[in-house]
Chain A
Amino acid sequence: MALIDLANPSRFLALADRVLPWLAAATLFAFALGLGQAYVAPDDYQQGATVKIMFIHVPSAWLGMFAWGIMSLAAVGTLVWRHPLADVAAKAAAPVGAAFTLMCLVTGSLWGRPMWGTYWVWDARLTSVLVLFLMYLGVIALWRTIDDPARAARVVAVLTLVGAINVPIIKFSVEWWNTLHQSASVLRLDGSTIHPAILGPLVVMIVAFTLLFLSLHLAAMRNEITRRRLRTMLMMRADAAAGH
């Protein structure tokens, strides 16, 4: 089934209904595995058991940026190809991405207090993630302010692409600036610097969280399509009441 076939919302809904239960099951299995491994993971020699916060903090940071990437791809789909599913994908991703960015900020703050002595510091990485969260809220606000869904999608697409510059800034902020936040230790050109006993559960949790995002995103897309159908039907009812 080519991507263009999925532009038909009914066909997409049928596919979503079939795929979602499997996706949810895979998510549950991955979390069971990941949380189990996180439970038995050894303590860090410096951080003790608080390193276990990393198993939720790092995946949520990844998802916050991943969601904006999905929104940016969808934005291109909207502006260049006018693919109707791109509109739906972009709108559905925003609240989910915002929630995971918030999770990143909260878990990071709770990790920072025992480790750095402070709940917050205005270094480059924390500031740019906070800015990302504010931009998510701006996108959600813009979606809700423009009535026509198609026009809203196009305008939000421009804003999404302008804001996409923030994602590489977040990723490289710990390299470009002297930050309190530690530098990259997972995705590095010369391999990870984390011990395998902790890297293993981390990778499983990243996979589990990504599956969770995909499940939530798919379900939210399904809802968004239904919401547009509802809007069409409400407009038809208004037309009928007006005597057309």
Chain B
Amino acid sequence: MDLGPHAGFIVTAYAAAIGIVAGLIFWVILDRRHLTRAVDELEAQGITRRSDRAREEKA
């Protein structure tokens, strides 16, 4: 596809957009992984929240 004389700007703009979106997606995914791992660690140590405990007692 011929992008004309300003092809560099078009490609850079799309690359920047892809980079920013990728950054956002990585942030969300990595944050989730870190948080769930920390929560699982604490639960393994026996610390549970009140509502989780209530659910366990009901079960």
A interface residues (Cβ-Cβ under 8 A, vs B): 10, 39, 43, 48-50, 52-53, 56-57, 60, 95-96, 99-100, 102-103, 106-107, 110-111, 113-114, 212, 216, 219-220, 222-223, 226-227, 229-230, 232-234, 236-237, 240
* Chain A residues, CB < 8 A from B9: 50, 53, 110-111, 113-114
Query: By the criterion CB–CB under 8 Å, are A103 and B17 in contact?
Result: yes
Residues in B neighbouring A39, C-beta threshold 8 A: 1
Most chain A beta-carbon neighbours within 10 Å: one of B13, B23, B45, B48: B13
* A223 and B13 contact, CB distance less than 8 A: no
Interface residues of B (CB under 8 A from A): 1-7, 9-10, 12-14, 16-17, 20-21, 23-25, 27-28, 31-32, 35-36, 38-39, 42-43, 45, 47-49, 51
With A52-B10, A236-B49 given, name 8 new contacts (CB 8 A): A39-B1, A50-B4, A100-B20, A103-B21, A107-B16, A110-B16, A226-B35, A233-B47
Chain A interface, >50% SS class: helix
A220 to chain B, nearest CB (A): 6
| B24–A99 CB distance below 8 A | yes
List A contacts of B14 (CB < 8 A): 53, 56
- Residues of A contacting B42 in the complex (Cβ-Cβ under 8 angstroms): 230, 233-234, 237
Contact flag A57-B23 (CB < 8 Å), given A223-B28, A230-B35, A232-B49: no
Residues in chain A near residue B36, CB distance under 8 A = 226
CB-defined contacts of A96 to chain B, threshold 8 Å:
24
**Is the pair A110, B12 in contact by a Cβ cutoff of 8 Å?**
yes
Shortest 7 CB-CB distances between A and B: which pairs? A114-B6, A48-B4, A49-B4, A110-B13, A49-B3, A226-B35, A107-B13
Min CB gap A179→B, angstroms: 21
13 residue pairs bridging A and B, Cβ less than 8 Å apart: A43-B4, A49-B4, A49-B7, A52-B10, A53-B9, A60-B17, A96-B24, A106-B16, A220-B31, A222-B32, A223-B28, A233-B42, A237-B47
Min Cβ gap B50→A in Å is 9
Q: Decide if B35 touches A223 in the complex (CB within 8 Å).
A: yes
Contact among A102, A227, A236 with B35 in the assembled complex (CB-CB below 8 Å)? A227
What's the least CB distance linking A7 to chain B, in Å?
A: 13
For the complex, give the distance between the alpha carbons of A223 and B29 in Å: 9
Q: Which residues of B contact A52 (CB under 8 A)?
A: 3, 10
Residues of B within 8 A of A56 (CB): 13-14, 17
Contact, CB under 8 Å: A233 / B49: yes
Task: Determine if A50 and B10 form an interchain contact, defined as CB atoms under 8 angstroms apart.
Answer: yes
A216 B25 Cβ-Cβ under 8 A: yes
Max count, chain A CB within 10 A of own CB: residue among B4, B5, B17: B17
Within the complex, the shortest CB–CB distance from A169 to chain B, in Å, comes to: 24
Query: By the criterion CB–CB under 8 Å, are A219 and B32 in contact?
Result: yes
